């Protein structure tokens, strides 16, 4: 597959505009005071399926021809991409099958099924989720819509950063940096492509949870490296085994670097988002905010963007974050 381009992100923005929410730019005096700079937040928990993933899924599925739509689509996902594929497929009348880990939050499994998708559970530790999707596609003729390593998915994800750059400029602001929650690298790759054209002076940083920092380590090594098994599972949305082939090809060229946050820092950011921003943010969706609040990125005197990537959090996990904040 060819690598996506900034033009592909711009085309995706036009293609999906009528089918996704254009989430707003948010500001918080409390956050600006806490980090000593100006923070521009992109709240994708307000997206229709509760995460940015609807953007990429919609862009990919709406480029399928009528015959492919009739056969349907299949994917593998811990939840957010599965919901997005189910929603985008339902919108065009296409059947969808989603392979989900048996330990995925119940709220994500139920939401995926609610869009009419067939949910098939697998064992995260034992099964190869990509092989399951491929085998199903070969048996049924359905099209695989990967969670991140696909040019149409990457381009669709980049539309969030494209919107943020436009809103920042409309407010008379230019971002020195953008911090992006990162799992397989689709959102940060799309964001970097978007800003390469829309805001070339903005330095884009991947942010990952401790133990799942494959992008940061891959950038340092100059090649793709994977995560060791058995890492903490708090940030379930970001638990990709290693960067994608396409995503890393983009990210090694365009990213300024990678940042890593701890579980405690993630929980603190979730609590901050609830108390000060009035937003429910899932652990994986809070890592960029966590990096700012924990001082992993020096934002003093700078204008910095942060993508809050999703809000589909298990109630027990959210309660844990609020208890941590007292």
Place of tokens 């730019």: 25
CA 309 – CA 52 distance, rounded (Å): 6
- Model pLDDT, residue 107: 85
Helices (H), 124-200: 129-140, 151-157, 159-170, 186-198
Number of CB atoms found within 10 A of residue 102's CB? 11
pLDDT tens digits, 173-183 = 999 999 999 99
Same CATH topology for 6-52+152-324 and 54-150?
Answer: yes
For residues 166-191, average pLDDT? 98
CA 40 – CA 170 distance, rounded (Å): 12
Instruction: Tell me what percent of the residues of the chain surpass a pLDDT of 70.
Output: 100
pLDDT tens digits, 238-273 = 999 999 999 999 999 999 999 999 999 999 999 999
- Within 8 A by CB and 6+ apart from 278, the residues are none
Res 149 pLDDT > 80: yes
Confidence of residue 161 (pLDDT cuts 50, 70, 90): very high
Q: Which helix (H) or strand (E) holds 74?
A: strand 73-76
Confidence of residue 30 (pLDDT cuts 50, 70, 90): very high
Q: Where are the domains of the chain?
A: 6-52+152-324, 54-150
Both tokens of residue 190?
Answer: 């799309």
**Residue 53 designated active-site:** yes
In total, the chain counts a number of residues equal to 326
Sign of the dihedral defined by the CA atoms of residues 186, 262, 212, 238, in that order: negative
Res 325 pLDDT > 90: no
For residues 88-100, average pLDDT? 97
DSSP bridge pairs for 207: 181, 259
Q: 53, 78, 199, 218: which one is catalytic? A: 53
Q: 51, 77, 191, 309: which one is catalytic? A: 309
Q: In whole angstroms, what separates CA 254 from the centre of its chain?
A: 17
For residues 197-203, average pLDDT? 98
CA 212 – CA 231 distance, rounded (Å): 7
Confidence of residue 125 (pLDDT cuts 50, 70, 90): confident
**Residue 302 designated active-site:** no
The CATH code belonging to domain 6-52+152-324 is 3.40.50.1100
Res 187 pLDDT > 90: yes
The model's pTM is 0.96
Query: Highest mean pLDDT: which of 223-232, 277-286, 316-325?
Result: 277-286
Confidence of residue 79 (pLDDT cuts 50, 70, 90): confident
For residues 47-54, average pLDDT? 97
For residues 111-127, average pLDDT? 93
- Model pLDDT, residue 158: 98
**HSE-CB of 126 using CA atoms within 13 angstroms:** 5
Angle at 161 between CA 69 and CA 313, to 5 degrees: 70
Mean pLDDT score across all residues of the chain: 96
The CATH code belonging to domain 54-150 is 3.40.50.1100
Res 326 pLDDT > 70: no
């Amino acid at each position: 597959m060819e690598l996506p381009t900034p033009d592909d992100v711009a085309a995706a923005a036009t293609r999906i505009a009528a089918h996704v929410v254009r989430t707003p730019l948010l500001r918080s005096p409390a956050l600006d005071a806490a980090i000593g700079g100006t923070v521009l937040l992109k709240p994708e928990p307000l997206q229709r399926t509760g995460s940015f993933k609807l953007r990429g899924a919609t862009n990919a599925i709406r480029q399928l021809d009528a015959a492919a739509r009739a056969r349907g689509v299949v994917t593998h996902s811990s939840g957010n991409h599965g919901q997005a594929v189910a929603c985008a497929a339902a919108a065009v009348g296409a059947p969808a099958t989603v392979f989900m880990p048996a330990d995925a939050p119940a709220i994500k499994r139920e939401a995926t099924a609610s869009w009419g998708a067939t949910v098939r559970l697998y064992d995260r530790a034992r099964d190869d989720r990509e092989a399951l999707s491929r085998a199903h596609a070969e048996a049924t003729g359905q099209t695989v819509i990967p969670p991140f390593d696909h040019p149409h998915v990457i381009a669709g994800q980049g539309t969030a950063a494209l919107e943020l750059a436009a809103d920042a400029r409309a407010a008379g602001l230019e971002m020195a940096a953008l911090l992006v929650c990162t799992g397989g690298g689709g959102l940060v790759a799309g964001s970097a492509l978007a800003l390469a054209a829309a805001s070339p002076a903005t330095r884009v940083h991947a942010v990952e949870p401790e133990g799942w920092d494959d992008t940061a380590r891959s950038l340092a090594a100059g090649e793709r490296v994977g995560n060791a098994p058995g890492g903490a599972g708090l940030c379930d949305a970001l638990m990709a085994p290693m960067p994608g082939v396409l995503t890393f090809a983009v990210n090694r060229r365009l990213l300024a670097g990678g940042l890593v946050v701890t579980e405690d820092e993630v929980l603190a950011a979730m609590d901050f988002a609830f108390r000060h921003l009035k937003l429910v943010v899932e652990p994986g969706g809070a890592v960029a905010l966590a990096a700012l609040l924990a001082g992993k990125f020096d934002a003093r005197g700078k204008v910095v963007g942060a993508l809050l990537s999703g809000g589909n959090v298990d109630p027990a996990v959210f309660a844990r974050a609020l208890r941590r904040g007292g």
